Amino acid sequence: MNHLDDNKHSVFLLKYRLILTTMQRRAVIDGEISRRLKEFFITNADSYNVSLEEWDAHEDHIYIRFRAHPNSELKKFLNAYKSASSRLIKKEHPEIVEQLWEGMFWSKSFYMVTEGQSMAGDEAAYLEKQKERVIRKRNRRGRRQEVS
């Protein structure tokens, strides 16, 4: 059974699943970068009434399960996390900057659902769709360069 969260006037359980992908699905997340991204998430989560439940990193995306309060401003938290963690990682690991697409660490898009709505197939479909977009963009750029 899930432990319920509460505050002065309410009882709630708000769990989310989140996937953040690197820009153009660049394979730049290793163990050390994952550790720093996770540390940074935990450090900044309190300011937004968010708490980490699960962290799983892959070379081109991270999967996060977290809890939030009704007053959590999730969009603000995500924007702050993505921009600040990107700056932090590029500062601490300048060697990866040349591997990034136009110097950008995170993709602008993300996948987030409440835990009750999430299904493994949906997450896999999202990741596949992101990969297909990257391939299409790369192919279009390649054709434009051939024409020039």
- One DSSP character per residue, 74-112 reads HHHHHHHHHHHHHHHHHHH-GGGGGGSBTTB-EEEEEEE
pLDDT in the model for residue 68: 96
Average pLDDT over residues 33-52: 96
pTM of the model: 0.79
Residues 46-73 have pLDDT tens digits of 999 999 999 999 999 999 999 999 999 9
Average pLDDT over residues 89-102: 93
Average pLDDT over residues 62-87: 96
pLDDT in the model for residue 144: 62
Distance between alpha carbon 106 and the CA centroid of its chain, in Å? 7
CA proximity to 45, closest of 13, 67, 17: 67
Structure tokens given for 70? 């009704």
CA proximity to 49, closest of 25, 70, 19: 70
pLDDT in the model for residue 147: 55
pLDDT in the model for residue 18: 97
pLDDT in the model for residue 86: 97
pLDDT in the model for residue 119: 57
pLDDT in the model for residue 117: 55
pLDDT confidence tier of residue 1, bands split at 50, 70 and 90: very low
Residues 100-147 have pLDDT tens digits of 988 899 999 999 999 875 556 777 787 888 888 888 888 887 766 665
Average pLDDT over residues 2-26: 88
